[in-house]
């Protein structure tokens, strides 16, 4: 993953389950797509990548860096982005996650968030993408 300590950078996660355990997902690739990032969020295209290398792989979610400290909840921007991807692409189901990568002095922290049903409903309809706490947002819209 390419990273910047100030500007968020993201990619789509693709992978599959090993033959002996369908409860496990192995990340096989991170697809870097055209994006616009800043310190608060990263904007990704709603169209999913198409390439022969992705044949046989399933979308596992999004991974992106976070500037500053790791939040203790799934952010409104992440809830909205994930819900919209799920809403527009049947291959993005409730098993997909948003992963965050936080850089702290001397370490790197990873977190994975899945949308709750409430988060999906709110995020798919949310129009306020500029506020940190838009109307109707709750910090319980994602499960870690």
Predicted pLDDT of residue 1? 58
Predicted pLDDT of residue 68? 77
Here the tokens at position 40 are: 């608060």
Evaluate whether 19 touches 62 at the Cβ level (below 8 Å): no
The percent of residues above 90 in pLDDT, for the chain, comes to 84
Domain formed by 10-143, architecture: 3-Layer(aba) Sandwich (3.40)
Q: Distance (Å, rounded) from C-alpha 40 to C-alpha 128? A: 14
Q: Distance (Å, rounded) from C-alpha 83 to C-alpha 70? A: 21
pLDDT higher than 80, residue 92:
yes
Residue with tokens 């990263």, as numbered in its chain: 42
pTM flag (> 0.85): yes
CA 74 centroid distance within chain:
10
């Amino acid at each position: 993953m390419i990273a910047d300590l100030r500007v968020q950078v993201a990619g789509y996660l693709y992978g599959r389950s090993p033959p002996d355990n369908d409860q496990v997902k192995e990340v096989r690739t991170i697809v870097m797509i055209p994006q616009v990032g800043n310190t608060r969020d990263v904007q990704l295209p709603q169209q999913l990548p198409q390439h022969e290398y992705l044949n046989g792989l399933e979308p596992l979610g999004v991974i992106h860096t976070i500037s500053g400290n790791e939040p203790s909840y799934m952010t409104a921007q992440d809830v909205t982005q994930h819900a919209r991807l799920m809403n527009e692409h049947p291959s993005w189901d409730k098993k997909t996650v948003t992963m965050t990568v936080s850089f702290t002095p001397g370490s790197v922290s990873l977190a994975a968030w899945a949308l709750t049903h409430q988060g999906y409903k709110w995020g798919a309809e949310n129009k306020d993408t500029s506020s940190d706490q838009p109307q109707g947002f709750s910090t319980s819209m994602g499960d870690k």
